[in-house]
A and B are shown apart, each in its own frame.
Chain A
Amino acid sequence: MPVTLDRDISKQLAEAVKAAAMARTPLAITGGGTKRFYTGMAQGERLDVTGHRGITTYEPTELVVTARTGTLLTEIEAALAEKGQMLGFEPPHFGPSATLGGTIACGFSGPRRPYAGSARDFVLGATIINGKGEVLRFGGQVMKNVAGFDVSRLMVGALGTLGVLLDISLKVLPKPAREITLSFELPSAKAIATMNAWAGTPLPISGACHVGDTLYIRLSGTALGVRAAHTRLGGEPVGKGDQFWRELREHERSFFQDSATLWRLSVPPAIAPMPLPGKWFIDWGGAQRWLKSDSPAAEIHRAAEAAGGYARPFTDALPTQVFSAPSGSVLARLHRQIKQSFDPAGVLNTAVRQ
């Protein structure tokens, strides 16, 4: 059994960034490599963060865990599970070597997201190395903290382009006492309407998705609460519900094995089924829709925008510009200026698409 040593290599990492900034050498920040299918490989000298690891504080009664970013996600989740707690945003791993840093840098959230919160919602604080090699700490270990700008949350989903993440403090949640999964045979239009109608009522829902002709609902809470909700909703209990939601989260369901390109559409949840050819797996109660389609990218982007959202290929196989604002726009300019304010020499993951 390999011994994983908790280590703080922040000094070495900061020095490496400082040197890179002076020489203007691009850096490619690497963790466990599990999200590379999405980000592509950044150009530049490798800056390996995996040696910076260990849970530094975990206080179940404060609902806070702080860990170095090279720590394996599995290690953190195991520590939480031991105390009957969990990460509320149910992050996908996409591989056994997934680290906390990559998880937060990509900001992906699982099926529980609309009901418990997103990755960013659970970040309380972060220590980063900015593009000048300075070690900076923002936020803290408390949820209510409005001193200064919300830089720690800005790091979530920033793909390492604003700073090397060193450690993150996360709010944790108690694991629900009971969880069950129910299924209902419904076509997608009816399923979307139903998921959203139920989300507007006080039911203990923690997951809602539709694929093929089946709507799946996860109920989480106290034993009595879940039982009462089941009685109210009806539906067929699904055995091994945990496995179902994990396979959805990790893209291991058969839907994801299809050879067509995988697109992620983020749209208002109650939008009717979208007029795009292909197969759909509708998650987040309608707000995150996975599409397997070989339609032209422009068509998919157009449909997503018309629905009030946006689309992104969930793979770097397509050379499409991911950040959909036209490059001359105010929004694009603001992004460049924000990037520059953290990384004036442009060394941090700069070739990664944003």
Chain B
Amino acid sequence: MNHLCLTLDSLDFTQTMNTPLPQQSLKHQTARLNLAATLRTFLPATSVLATKEDMQPYECDGLSAYRRLPGLVVLPETIEQVQRILKLCSEQDVPVVARGAGTGLSGGALPLTEGVLLALGKFNRILEIDPLNRTATVQPGVRNLAISEAAAVHNLYYAPDPSSQIACSIGGNVAENAGGVHCLKYGLTVHNVIGLTFITMDGERITVGGKGLDSPGYDLLAIMTGSEGMLGVIVEIIVKLLPKPERAQVMLAIFDDIEKAGDAVSVVISHGFVPAGLEMMDNLAIRAAEDYAKVGYPVEAAAILLCELDGTNEEVSEGIAQVRELLLKQGATEVRTAKDDQERLRMWAGRKAAFPAVGRLSPDYYCMDGTIPRKHLARVLKKISDLSRAHGLAVANVFHAGDGNLHPLILYDASKPGELEKTEELGGKILEFCVAVGGTITGEHGVGMEKINQMCVQFTKEELAQFHALKAAFDPKGLLNPGKAVPTLSRCAEFGRMHVHSGKLVHPDLERF
């Protein structure tokens, strides 16, 4: 797969913070090497990387179309080291970008040329599993799936399961408030984290929460989760562990019409079921997944719904029978029920491999991440189909039907001149339509640098100013991950986005999109 590398030097990052960007000291070689030397007085030499070859693996995250070498890469191993690094950078006005496993899809860990890339990969220990209080105390570099693997011996697990869970880090999950297939029933990362230790840009250590269910004062756990590395560097996390369900069973429902599938989802929910997983795929996504994973998906279907129920044996049996009937009544042409755990995993394997499967269809693909009220699904899919035709780019759709989080996957070829720009334009229009129908521009991947323009569409200038003020309360100098997530007003003005707020279009009669 080819990647188009954009030159980002021209992008002016003074447009992303209200406070003027600090001295770009690391742009100068001497400053860079001096800082490296100072860092090496308290870090092993191998923990400070300064050459192009050494730093290259850190030049991008999962949004690989955007790459940039940092000034330095620093790999601390202890909390005290993180404190010293941040304090030093603060004193020298050097911006810092934190990085977990680098699997993020919005460019949140994209380095700054004049900054330090703080890689937390060495923080990879599970410090404690407490089966009686049902908690896991972990370092931020621990892989998401590793937590469940460690808890399995107690019949416990960590619920949020982003599709990248085999590789993504829990610290990154907290920074992005990651979701996953099971979050309708089990919540996002924010619903599953009960303690956090983070370091401020001044190098001070703050611990909030613990093994109890709340702590006094403001809900700093909520504000830190999803803060995209902009408020503090997370160094320790306490997560909730849940009992493994006695049984989980999945059904695959086949529909000849996408609208029927969308309506079926609403009917299941309104009958009081909270499925553990409820996923939809459109025809293009189904065909790609089947071609890749060969799990027996119906390649002629307009849409399929994967519905998983979990709980006690009795609850699941009762539930499966009732939901099956509902789906058939709603027009499913067939409902297959997995007869054992192996078949259940096989049914999910196609959906979980959707992204790499779609990736085989074309040299490149761009994964979008918007959330919409479920009732507007058919309308949004129709709009996407119209936009796809207008832009001459195919789009496959994967939908977390349970919570309205939509992943349109735009297929393109970066080697064709202008194609990436066309793709981004199409993506931007899709996200704006999500906002127009009352949704949001990002359900789980974060804003990063990718959707920063769309933030101008989703929020008013007063709201953006409030975000900046809150950010300044944590990081007055604006050195933590500047240029990400929250745009300045001048940037919004420059890109001239029309404001579409809360599903209310200005001049709704005019054809805009």
Contact = CB atoms under 8 A, between A and B. Distances in A.
Given A173-B274, A200-B132, A334-B474, A142 B223 contact: no
B502 A270 contact: no
B222 A154 contact: yes
Contacts of B266: 61-62
Interface in B426-446: 438-446
A201 B132 CA distance: 11
A238 to B, nearest CB: 21
A142 B183 CA distance: 12
A84 interface: yes
A335 B441 CA distance: 29
A346 to B, nearest CB: 14
Interface stretch (A22-30, A95-103, A183-191, A320-328): A320-328
Given A142-B371, A147-B455, A199 B312 contact: no
Interface residues of B, number: 98
Interface stretch (B142-150, B242-250, B298-306, B386-394): B242-250
B261 to A, nearest CB: 14
Contacts of B184: 143
Contacts of A335: 217-218
Interface stretch (A247-255, A261-269, A292-300): A261-269
A287 B212 contact: yes
Nearest to B131: A200
A147 B458 contact: yes
Interface in B137-188: 154-156, 176-177, 179, 183-184, 187-188
Contact of A222 (B134, B218, B246, B318): B318
A114 B240 CA distance: 11
B311 interface: yes
Contacts of A199: 134, 243
Contacts of B400: 144
20 contacts: A137-B502, A144-B183, A144-B404, A144-B405, A146-B442, A146-B447, A149-B467, A156-B219, A204-B311, A223-B318, A225-B312, A228-B313, A270-B130, A270-B133, A284-B213, A288-B213, A308-B210, A322-B216, A337-B473, A354-B217
B485 to A, nearest CB: 7
Contact of B243 (A158, A177, A202, A269): A202
Contact of A153 (B183, B222, B318): B222
Contact of B177 (A118, A150, A221): A150
Interface in A72-122: 84, 107, 113-114, 117-118, 120-121
A177 B443 contact: no
Given A143-B404, A222-B319, A309-B211, 6 more contacts: A147-B441, A266-B212, A269-B211, A310-B216, A334-B200, A334-B473
Interface stretch (B48-56, B68-76, B279-287, B372-380): B372-380
Nearest to B225: A150
Interface in B305-351: 311-315, 317-319
A154 to B, nearest CB: 5
B191 A121 contact: yes
B124 to A, nearest CB: 25
Contacts of A331: 206, 208, 217
A330 interface: yes
A140 B438 contact: yes
A61 B269 contact: yes
Contacts of A352: none
B470 A341 contact: yes
B403 interface: yes
B406 to A, nearest CB: 10
A325 B438 CA distance: 40
B472 interface: yes
A260 interface: no
Contacts of B447: 146-148
Contacts of A308: 210-212
B470 A204 contact: no
Output the residue of A146, A154, A204 with the most chain B CB within 10 A.
Answer: A146
A149 to B, nearest CB: 6
Given A142-B439, A224-B314, A338 B470 contact: yes
Contact of B318 (A63, A196, A225, A309): A225
Contact of B403 (A121, A143, A173): A143
B177 A146 contact: yes
A200 B154 contact: yes
Nearest to A136: B463
B227 interface: yes
Contact of B273 (A64, A174, A284): A174
B371 A145 contact: yes
B441 A200 contact: no
Interface string A288-324: 1000000000000000000011101000000000111
Contacts of A284: 213
Nearest to A174: B272
A330 B200 contact: yes
Nearest to B373: A62
| Smallest CB-CB A-B distances: 3 pairs | A174-B272, A144-B443, A268-B211
A323 B218 CA distance: 10
B161 to A, nearest CB: 14
A276 to B, nearest CB: 16
Contacts of B473: 334, 337-338, 340-341
A84 B271 CA distance: 9
Contacts of A266: 212-215
Nearest to B263: A61
Nearest to B180: A144
Nearest to B451: A147
A111 to B, nearest CB: 12
A258 to B, nearest CB: 24
B46 interface: no
Interface in A130-176: 130, 134-138, 140-151, 153-154, 156-158, 162, 173-175
A342 interface: yes
Nearest to B246: A202
